[in-house]
Amino acid sequence: MRYSFLFPGQGAQAPGMGKDLFDRSEDVRGLFRLATESCGFDVAALVFDGTEDDLKKTDNTQIAITVTNLAAATVLREFGIESDRLAGFSLGEYAALVEAGVLDLQTVFPVVRLRGQVMEQASRALDTEAGPAGMTAVLGLDYQTVNSVLEQVPDAYPGIHNSPAQTVVSGTAEALTAAEEALKQAGARRVIRLKVSGPFHCPLMSKARDELEKALAGIDFKDPCKPIYSNVTAKAVESGLQLKRFCVEQLVAPVLWVATMDQMVADGVAGFLEVGPGTVLGGLWNAWLKANTGVMLQCTPAGTLEQIEALDTVEKSRSVVSP
């Protein structure tokens, strides 16, 4: 059975992630060596021995999650488990680009390293005495209502549509404080300031977008060999040139994750695998299912060796023909 691979993004990281995959696979160890050569520091030491604070820094997080996502995809392939459709949550889109043959490994690690650096620089330029720019999760309001409220709050924007009942808002510290109060008055069940280092996926990241656009100008994005869904449009993209443009625009446009799930289901996916650390995307999928009760699909975690071995066992049991 082929699965649609979903690659997690920033926020899924944890110290030690991927170590079991690294220990099992020479190809995974090669991924880490290549990432180290590309970035100029020991990526394995960062991922396996770094602290939560180390991994939370955007310029570290992006390379750490990308190499771990690709490690999971590598081990899945070693077990004969292949993808048919691809999507990545924010940063996770870069692992999807590799899986789809759009970018090669020699290219992706320097690109995500630079992406993290320009996002971190743009974020720190927005910090004020009130605190750092960042993001707030809003629970219990639909996306349209959140957007309507934010129209009245300068420097606060929709950043991610996580699930039918959860939107993440991006903004300066002052804007987030004002937005949180306005959203609570509009009926939000909870507002939670997130532990992220910037106001991602909104117009406040325009400087980062411009820097990334310059860096990508000379890089060849090949046409994908399988459907890959863009965060910007929630549609499958067939052109490498379009994917390059969407990688740039993704920094200033909201992540349309709910619409992406809607589209992938409409396009006939057989099932999802969460290919990378954590179970964030599985949780978002379960929230999606609550609003779409007629859908009978699973999002299975596949980011650790134990999870992949369990999936392999299920696959082998399916291949057994009953007498």
**Do 173 and 108 fall into the same domain?**
no
Q: Output the CA torsion 180→181→187→190 (10° steps).
A: 50
Which CATH number is 168's domain given? 3.30.70.250
**Do 91 and 220 fall into the same domain?**
yes
**Residue scoring higher pLDDT (119 or 58):** 119
The strand pairing partners of 158, in sequence order, are 169
**Do 188 and 211 fall into the same domain?**
no
**Do 160 and 51 fall into the same domain?**
no
Q: Which residue range(s) make up the domain with 51? A: 3-125+202-319
**Do 107 and 248 fall into the same domain?**
yes
Tens-place pLDDT, residues 169-186: 999 999 999 999 999 999
Tens-place pLDDT, residues 267-293: 999 999 999 999 999 999 999 999 999
**Do 32 and 108 fall into the same domain?**
yes
| Residues belonging to the active site | 90, 201
**Do 114 and 160 fall into the same domain?**
no
Last residue of a domain, one of 193, 225, 244: 193
Using pLDDT thresholds of 50, 70 and 90, give the confidence band for residue 197. Answer: confident
**Do 113 and 153 fall into the same domain?**
no
The per-residue pLDDT for 323 is 45
CA distance 61 to 320: 41
C-alpha 14: how far from chain center = 14
Over residues 211-234, the mean pLDDT reads 97
Name the H helices within the chain: 19-24, 26-39, 43-49, 52-56, 58-78, 93-99, 105-124, 143-150, 173-185, 206-216, 240-249, 257-266, 280-290, 305-319
Q: For residue 261, give the nearest of 41, 80, 6, 58 by alpha carbon.
A: 6
DSSP 3-state assignment of 297? coil
- The total of structural domains in the chain comes to 2
89 C-beta neighbours (distance < 10 Å), count: 26
User: Is the Cβ–Cβ distance between 295 and 269 less than 8 Å?
Assistant: no
> At CA 247, angle to CA 141 and CA 138, rounded to 5?
15
Over residues 61-84, the mean pLDDT reads 96
User: Is the Cβ–Cβ distance between 45 and 72 less than 8 Å?
Assistant: no
**Do 230 and 253 fall into the same domain?**
yes
**Do 178 and 140 fall into the same domain?**
yes
Identify the residue whose tokens are 């964030």: 280
Which CATH number is 303's domain given? 3.40.366.10
**Do 86 and 219 fall into the same domain?**
yes
